[in-house]
Amino acid sequence: MLERRKRALTKGPKFINFVTEGAKGKSGVEGGGILAMAADWEMRADIHQRIGFPEEVVSTSLRSDIVLWSRNSKQVLMTELTVPWEDRIEEARERKRLKFQQLVEDCQEQGLRIWCLPVEVGCQGFPGQSLWRTLRLLGVVGAERKKLMGAVSRQVEAASGWIWRKRDERWSGHHQQC
């Protein structure tokens, strides 16, 4: 039963580029991605302040790093970034998937199509397969995806280095801008 639930959460749309007979084309999951499935996406991101999950979608105390929703197409996409040790990427993914399981079920009960996309990038900058798959599902493909993957890796590595250098300093409860 748990395996079936796990597959249901990771299933996403398959986008196929149709090619006329005799023409060459790419195979696989390409095309516009999830974002091309609606034109009225709204977004909340937990960047400078703690945000809650949109009340008009589902009432919950859970919150993800980014949530996008489309009222017209009744779709919700949420992603949660985790930066674990590289050898704990799969464990972190499962932990986040289970954390949001009830929220996913609540959205489905409301008749919403939901994608829960936990993303992991190891603390030394190694991106997990989840980032690659998530970008593909969103419609970020080819050289653009490769460039974005490199940028994310560099940012995570730099942030982890900063935390390592500050490890002996006493941290206060106040957030300071860097």
CA distance 14 to 69: 19
pLDDT of amino acid 3 = 53
> For residue 38, which phi and psi values (nearest 5 degrees)?
-155, 155
Name the pLDDT band for 178 (thresholds 50, 70, 90).
very low
CB of 66 closer than 8 Å to CB of 115: no
Instruction: Return the percentage of the chain with pLDDT > 90, whole number.
Output: 60
Asked if pLDDT for residue 140 goes beyond 50, the answer is: yes
Asked if pLDDT for residue 161 goes beyond 50, the answer is: yes
Instruction: Give the pLDDT mean for 30-37.
Output: 81
Instruction: Give the pLDDT mean for 77-106.
Output: 93
Asked if pLDDT for residue 52 goes beyond 70, the answer is: yes
pLDDT of amino acid 19 = 45
pLDDT tens track for 18-31: 445 555 554 444 45
> What pTM was computed for the model?
0.71
Give the DSSP H or E segment for 43.
Answer: strand 42-45
Asked if pLDDT for residue 78 goes beyond 80, the answer is: yes
Long-range contacts of 151-157 (CB under 8 A, 24+ apart): 152/121, 152/127, 153/121, 153/125, 153/126, 153/127, 154/125, 156/83, 156/121, 156/122, 156/123, 156/125, 156/127, 157/124, 157/125
pLDDT of amino acid 59 = 87
pLDDT tens track for 97-124: 999 999 999 999 999 999 999 999 999 9
